[in-house]
Structure 1
């Protein structure tokens, strides 16, 4: 079964329009890096009252940490993060940006799942 991941981060209020605009046309190289890393069904939702960004995706590979390192090493993704990280505020103490040793986005614990009937 795929690994499901849910993460949150705070969006700076001043960056809301720019963040939505850049995500309306995600760079092809960034999408390709996600695909190479076995990430599917990726979405980011915005909750304006708390300025939360909520990301969910499924990981279908066999080496999550290794594939995440490959994404972090991708030059196009690094350039993307240079743009988007400045629009966000991490909840993780000591976090300095995406792709670093300390996670930028906070990963949430799954407490319930209903798969439904196939």
Structure 2
């Protein structure tokens, strides 16, 4: 099995919304660290569980961050699940390429007439 493409994996979670949430959290925490000279933290957690007896896993992804403020800190966490396939290319949203042809020309149910 090939290693999972990390950027594709992150972008697949929650239809790309998770990647946007991580980007926003990183920016907000970094801004708070610079503005208040205090420590901030962004934590990503992934838990994987097989779905039935299939080659799919439910990826539970959690974003947890602590943003420093003037008089304390602001904390937020969010957790959602995304089903992914375990393939020869690592974890993927689709088991096969959804843009592939369903049939090869020689397997088509209706053979084209030659003119």
- TM-score when scaled to structure 1? 0.26
1 or 2, which has the higher helix percentage? 1
> Rg bigger for which structure?
2
Which fold has the larger relative contact order, with Cα–Cα distance below 8 Å and residues 6 or more apart in sequence?
A: 1
